[in-house]
Amino acid sequence: MTEGQLSQSEKVALRERVKELTCLYGIAQVARQPDKPLQNILQSIVELLPPAWQYPKVASARLNLDGVCYTAGDFSACCQKQSAEIFVNDAPKGLVEIGYTENEPQLDEGPFLKEERSLLNEIARQIALIVEHRQAEEDKIKLYGQLRHADRLATVGMLAAGVAHELNEPVGNILGFAQLAKKAEKIPASVKKDIDKIEAASLDARDIIQKLLVFARQVPPEKKSVNLNDIVKNGLYFLEARCAKEGTELVCVLSPNLPEVIADPVQLNQVLVNLVVNALQSMGQKAGKIMVQTKSNEQEVCLVVEDTGCGMSKEVLDEIFTPFFTTKDIGCGTGLGLPVVHGIVTGHNGVINVESKVGQGTRFEIHLPLKKPPKIKDAN
Please count the structural domains in the chain.
Answer: 3
Tell me whether residue 376 is in a domain: no
Question: Where does a domain end: 110, 140, 170?
Answer: 140
Question: Where does a domain end: 159, 188, 215?
Answer: 215
Same-domain pairing of 106 and 158: no
Same-domain pairing of 242 and 360: yes
Reported as half-sphere exposure (CB side, CA atoms, 13 A), residue 141 has a value of 5
Phi, psi of 354 (to 5 degrees): -130, 135
pLDDT digits (tens, 9 = 90+) for 201-260: 888 777 777 666 665 555 566 788 889 999 888 888 778 878 888 888 888 999 988 998
Tell me whether residue 315 is in a domain: yes
Q: Find the helix packing angle between 228-237 and 265-282, rounded to 10°.
A: 50
Same-domain pairing of 205 and 231: no
CB-based contact 76:64 (threshold 8 Å) = no
Alpha carbon of residue 240 to chain centroid: 33
Same-domain pairing of 55 and 166: no
Tell me whether residue 258 is in a domain: yes
Select from 283, 342, 354 the least CA-distant residue to 318. 354
Same-domain pairing of 151 and 57: no
Same-domain pairing of 194 and 319: no
> Mind giving me the DSSP string for 199-268?
HHHHHHHHHHHHHHHHHTT-S----EEE-HHHHHHHHHHTTHHHHHHTTEEEEEE--TTPPPEEE-HHHH
Reported as half-sphere exposure (CB side, CA atoms, 13 A), residue 199 has a value of 14
Same-domain pairing of 249 and 311: yes
Same-domain pairing of 281 and 328: yes
User: What is the per-residue pLDDT for 337?
Assistant: 67
Name the residue type at position 161. Answer: A
* CATH number of the domain enclosing 9: 3.30.450.40
Tell me whether residue 374 is in a domain: no
Domain that holds residue 195: 147-215
What sections of 88-225 are H helices per DSSP?
114-182, 189-215
Same-domain pairing of 284 and 197: no
Tell me whether residue 290 is in a domain: yes
CB-based contact 119:23 (threshold 8 Å) = yes
pLDDT tens digit at each of 380 positions of the chain: 455 556 767 777 788 888 888 888 999 998 888 788 999 999 999 999 999 998 999 999 999 998 899 999 999 999 999 999 999 988 999 999 999 999 999 988 899 988 899 999 999 999 999 999 988 888 888 777 766 766 665 666 666 666 666 777 788 888 888 888 888 887 888 888 888 888 888 887 777 776 666 655 555 667 888 899 998 888 887 788 788 888 888 889 999 889 989 988 888 888 888 888 888 888 876 778 889 999 988 889 999 999 888 888 887 777 777 765 565 544 445 456 688 788 888 888 899 998 988 888 899 999 999 866 555 555 44
Q: Using CA atoms, how far apart are residues 256 and 259, in angstroms rounded to an integer?
A: 9
> Containing H/E element for 86?
strand 80-88
- DSSP strand pairing (261-263 vs 300-307): unpaired
Tell me whether residue 377 is in a domain: no
Tell me whether residue 267 is in a domain: yes
Q: Using CA atoms, how far apart are residues 297 and 231, in angstroms rounded to an integer?
A: 19
User: What is the per-residue pLDDT for 49?
Assistant: 92
* CATH number of the domain enclosing 177: 1.10.287.130
Select from 63, 44, 52 the least CA-distant residue to 115. 52
Tell me whether residue 71 is in a domain: yes
Same-domain pairing of 164 and 76: no
Q: Using CA atoms, how far apart are residues 350 and 314, in angstroms rounded to an integer?
A: 23
Question: Where does a domain end: 194, 215, 236?
Answer: 215
Q: What is the mean pLDDT of the chain?
A: 82
Same-domain pairing of 237 and 157: no
Same-domain pairing of 209 and 236: no
